[in-house]
Structure 1
Amino acid sequence: MARANLAFAVPIGSNSAMKALHDPQMLLAEGLTRIREEFAVPGGFPAPVQAAADAAAQRRPGAHADRTALPFVTLDPAESTDLDQAFAIEAAGADWLLHYAIADVPWFVGDGDAIDAEAWARGTTSYLPDGKAGLYPASLSEGAASLLPDGDRPAIILTTRIDPAGEARLDGAERALIRSRAKLAYETVREADLPPGFADLAARIGRAEDRRGAARVDPPEQQLEPNGTGGFTLAFRPLLLSETRNAALSLAANLAVARTMLDAGTGLFRVMAAPDAAAEAGLRATAQAFGLRWPAEMPLAQFERRLDGTRPAEAAFMLAVRRAGRGATYRPYTPRELPWHAALAAPYAHATAPLRRLADRYVLRAVLAIANGQPVPQDVSATFERLPKVMARAANRDGQIERAVIDLAETAMLANFVGRDFAATITDVNQGQARIQLADLPIVATVPANHDVPGDTIRVRLASASPAQRRLEFERLT
């Protein structure tokens, strides 16, 4: 018997919420409630934390520069209210200046206060289809600190210069008051709503990725839909052009931040190794399972950039690529060791989502100091040594939640298919178990191995599907 599992994929550099399963009709409400209980997802904040956040939300900036004349806008999912980033774009000769305003969470949250202690316990905002458990109380994350277009907001502006080749360099960083002109939504934004240069800037950044050999892919969002017969289907919603272009802005700012910290010999970086030879062999078998033609001489990174998320088989393969990777982790600066992110083919950092990631708050403090010729505060440098463990713990928790939600969706989708046969391809064999990829569905499972090698095709039968236990079991037929 075997248990099926499919992990989420999160697009790198995106400023949108985690690409979680979208379940607008709340078809899985009971199962989601159990998941929240199982993983102790907090439903609110302790009273002292909430009180401290409410008091912080009443603070009024006094030393921030006035940049309210700059025409900032935000671009996010329509329902989002925790807005980390706003942007304005300015021509500078042949270059573009990306004024990237980031919510000034460090100004609202003090080291060691009640809000800070709770944030260290959480690490990140946790997302589920029926809601989120915020890193900070909503009075900050969806109110005073969020870059909403209802008044002036304190921000940290990262001014990033993008040259014609798409290379990004930080020109400056400052604390400033900004005023967003509009809350734009991916689903409805028009080209005329966006600043001049938005499309060209994103295109430059994309061309630079291609030259570096970056393997970044943006998997589509998975959506659960009723099939009309009492069951469900998992469908893919490819990312909109507005989403991919917006992600490029965040990517450029984070690359520039990483470069700035690296030049200063300090910082906290995101690192990720490329899939090893065994993982790539498994991916080739997966591509075969989906009927994708991947020439033997073509590197994985090149093949990834050819994928089209509007085609179901290619969308499912994008998710398989993310599963095959060894995952990104945080690493503090270490002399003589280049912090490398294989998917981006460059040093990379997280600085642009402080409302949702604890680590970004400290990276922003470091970059502010470096950009203004000041030493990085000693407490910030010391924190870089502590953060990887905290962020890894939060990532592990979020990963477990994500896997549980997808398992729930899969079992709900296949509950009416018990007894049905499926074609599958062996993608890996380990300790007597063969990992399989279903040919017609983006589902990975394991069955007992039988002298298999990656690439072999077999048939399996769905023996049971239990949404209550989030468990699928397959039996092998060949």
Structure 2
Amino acid sequence: MMHLASVDSAALRDATKAVKDELDVPDGYPPGAEAEAAAAVDRCSAERRDATSIPLVTIDPPGSRDLDQALDIERHRGGYRVHYAIADVAALIEPGGALDKESQRRGETWYGPDMRIPLHPAVLSEGAASLLPGKERLAVLWTIDLDAEGDRTSTHVERARVRSREQLDYQQAQHRIDSGARSHGSRPDDPLGLLAEVGRLRLEQERARGGVSLPLPDQTIHTDGDAWTLRYGTSRPAEQWNAQLSLLTGMAAAEIMLDGGTGILRTLPAADEHATRRVRRAAHALGIDWPTTTPYPEFVRGLDPARPEDAAMLIACTRLLRGAGYEPFTAAPRDTTARVHSAVASTYAHVTAPLRRLVDRYGAECCLAHAGGREVPDWVLEALPDLPGIMRGSSQRAATFGNAMVDLVEAALLAPAVGREFPGVVLEASDKDPRTGTIMIREPAIEARITAEQDLPVGADVRARLVEADAMARRVEFALA
């Protein structure tokens, strides 16, 4: 946690506005898009069944209102039946309309510390489309059966009307699971307890196929007057178990699309050696042992997000996830090995976050068409070729925005420490000028630019002097001491 008792908060807010102006961050929605969102009705009511009797619950970060997913789990034929309801955003958006065009422009929800720029207007994303408790809502309902080992045995997907019974955050869900309290009245098996069972089984399935999940800590800015704090929030097991249901559904969706011959996959190539070496240096910088005989997935599983150095390590590991993309197809590829998502260690598709990610509603529509024996709608086929570019551009802008906001606050919080020396490890040196590169500082755990009068000793423990911390420029720079 980085904390400073007094910061020029007005200057920080000016710098935040400068970031938003520089990156052309969306501010508000066109009147036509707002009007369509407010007047949205179910375009697919004829094919929707009543599933409001399923006792679904949602599990999300505290204070969330854009609820994409709701779940219920029960024992079934010696294994488990998972009901996973996903907000049916496509049914509320007219293809080619003003709201559709605005969501195409945005691509996804943008996140920064203590800030969110949503994909859809709040009247939709936090209202009519959100799976809020006690409200009848439209959903794409996945019913996935698992055997006793957590392996998927069957999948069914359909449009439905659902009603969530309760909204929990991760802390509440974890407390329920740990205490064994029942949330669904007299049911013999608590669905949250079954979430823990299924989550653990799916993590073992992930381990067996060579996949890995990063339980990333959240970076949030907390303000109290002129006191600003940048905190890393820890991930709880319930969050990881819940994420396994999303991965399970994404893998099932990929299989349906491949069998049907039309769809869009989420892909990720294996990390190259240079990126892996850099992440190993980050581990050394943080004082974390990573034996050369320990594979990357096993190393990640040994990290504890509750420890600050491990939380910083998990963030550094995201460098190995670069190169992710989307691959649409209108004829099932003969060889899917090149289309595997390396972290999932399987073919995989995004279908579970349509309130926050544009591509999900197209993937879900492909699955619904294949499962129902129908042709994929023309509006989906027409959009598929453009989706990778839309999502790539949006992801790059969203990442730039999020990183800029973190850089801004890090610089503001470090500004009073200019001139101090910090221990760290040199992560890399520039190919063009080996006297410049990147350092990982141990405390606070940040990466920043470093310069030296001689070639940087890559991988070495060093002491570095903070020479610049400029919030307006979002720049932190060290010099080799």
Residue of structure 1 in register with 2:259 after alignment: 263
Instruction: State how far apart, in whole Å, the 2-side matches of 1:266 and 1:453 are.
Output: 50
Partner of 1:22: none
Alignment of 1:226-265 (within 5 A): 234-265=230-261
Q: Aligned match of 1:71 in 55, 64, 71? A: 55
Distance in 2 between the 1:422 and 1:105 partners? 49
1:186 corresponds in structure 2 to 170
- Give the secondary-structure state (helix, strand or coil) at the position aligned to 2:437: strand
Instruction: Give the superposition deviation at 1:231.
Output: 6.8
From 280, 286, 291, the equivalent of 1:284 is 280
1:435 Cα deviation from its structure 2 partner:
2.1
Q: For each residue in 1:183-229, what CA deviation from the matched residue of structure 2 results, as whole angstroms up to 9, or x when unmatched?
A: 1222323233362522111111111011112122112122446899x
2:473 equivalent to 1:469: yes
Question: Do 1:29 and 1:130's aligned partners in 2 also have CA atoms closer than 8 Å?
Answer: no
Give the 3-state SS of the residue equivalent to 2:171 in structure 1.
Answer: coil
Counterpart of 2:77 in structure 1 is 93
In the alignment, is residue 298 of structure 1 matched against residue 294 of structure 2?
Answer: yes
Residue 157 of structure 2 is aligned to residue 160 of structure 1 = no
Q: 1:206 aligns with which of 182, 203, 207?
A: 203
Query: Are 2:439 and 2:448, in contact at CA under 8 Å, matched by a contact in 1?
Result: yes
Whole-angstrom CA distance in 2 between matches of 1:239 and 1:476: 35
Partner of 1:16 in structure 2? none
1:446 maps to a residue whose letter is R
The secondary structure found in structure 2 opposite 1:279 is: helix
Aligned residues of 2:426 and 2:438 also touching (Cα < 8 A): yes
SS in structure 2 at match of 1:263: helix
* TM value normalised by structure 1: 0.88
Corresponding letter in the other structure for 1:142:
E
CA distance in 2, matches of 1:356, 1:332: 20
1:440-472, Cα deviation, whole Å (9 max, x unpaired): 332112324634453222221111211122111
Name which structure has the greater RCO, CA cutoff 8 Å, separation 6+.
Answer: 1
Structure 2 distance, partners of 1:58, 1:160, is 25
Paired with 1:204 and 1:266, the residues of 2 have a C-alpha distance of 30
Judging changes above 3 Å, is the alpha-carbon distance between structure 1 residues 257 and 455 closer, same or farther for their aligned structure 2 residues? same
* Superposed displacement of residue 397, structure 1: 0.8
Q: Alignment partner of 1:207: what SS?
A: helix
Alignment of 1:319-330 (within 5 A): 319-330=315-326
Count of residue correspondences: 451
Give the 3 Å change call, closer, same or farther, for CA 263–444 of structure 1 in structure 2. Answer: same
> Deviations for 1:61-111, whole angstroms, at most 9, x for unmatched residues?
454111111111111123111111111223221221111111111111121
Secondary structure of 1:252 counterpart: helix
Aligned to 2:216: 219
1:447 corresponds to which of 434, 450, 454: 450
Residue 242 of structure 1 aligns to a residue whose secondary structure is helix
- How far apart are the structure 2 equivalents of 1:31 and 1:137? 25
Decide whether aligned partners of structure 1 residues 164 and 52 sit closer, same or farther in structure 2, where only a CA change above 3 A counts: same
| 1:15 match | none
How far is 1:169 from its partner?
5.4
2:296 equivalent to 1:308: no
Q: For structure 1, which segment, 371-380 or 94-103, has the greater mean C-alpha deviation from structure 2 after superposition?
A: 371-380
Aligned equivalent of 2:391: 391
Return the match for 2:16 from 17, 22, 32: 32
- Are the equivalent residues in 2 in contact too, given 1:415–1:465 (CA < 8 A)? yes
Q: TM-score, normalised by structure 2?
A: 0.88
Q: 1:52 aligns with which of 36, 49, 55?
A: 36
After TM superposition, give the deviation of residue 59 of structure 1 in Å. Answer: 7.7
Question: Are residue 412 (structure 1) and residue 403 (structure 2) matched?
Answer: no
SS of 2:200's equivalent in the other structure is helix
Matching residue's letter, 1:274? A
Counterpart amino acid of residue 446 in structure 2: I
Determine the structure 2 residue equivalent to 1:352.
Answer: 352
Separation in 2, partners of 1:31, 1:130: 15
Structure 2 residue matching 1:197: 3-state secondary structure: helix
Partner of 2:135: 151
Tell me: CA distance 1:381–1:58, structure 2 relative to 1, closer, same or farther (3 Å): closer
Q: 1:324, CA displacement in angstroms?
A: 4.1
The whole-number CA distance in structure 1 between the counterparts of 2:327 and 2:425 is 36
In structure 1, stretches of 5+ residues that fail to align are 1-25
Q: Deviations over 1:158-186 (max 9, x none)?
A: 11222233233552111111111111222
- What is the rounded CA distance, in whole Å, between the counterparts of 1:384 and 1:165 in structure 2? 36
Shift of 1:378: 4.3
User: Using a 3 Å threshold, how does the CA distance of structure 1 residues 232 and 134 change in structure 2: closer, same or farther?
Assistant: closer
Residue 374 of structure 2 aligns to a residue in which SS?
A: coil
Q: Which residue matches 2:335? A: 336
Distance 1:170 1:360 in 2: 21
Displacement of 1:354 in angstroms is 0.7
Instruction: Supply the distance in 1 between the matched residues of 2:409 and 2:438 (Cα, whole angstroms).
Output: 20
Separation in structure 2 between the aligned mates of residue 184 and residue 145 of structure 1, nearest angstrom: 18
Q: What SS does structure 2 have at the residue aligned with 1:396?
A: helix
Contact 2:136–2:161 under 8 Å retained in 1: yes
The range that moved more, 424-433 or 309-318, is 424-433
Quickly say closer, same or farther: Cα 1:41–1:78, change in 2 above 3 A.
same
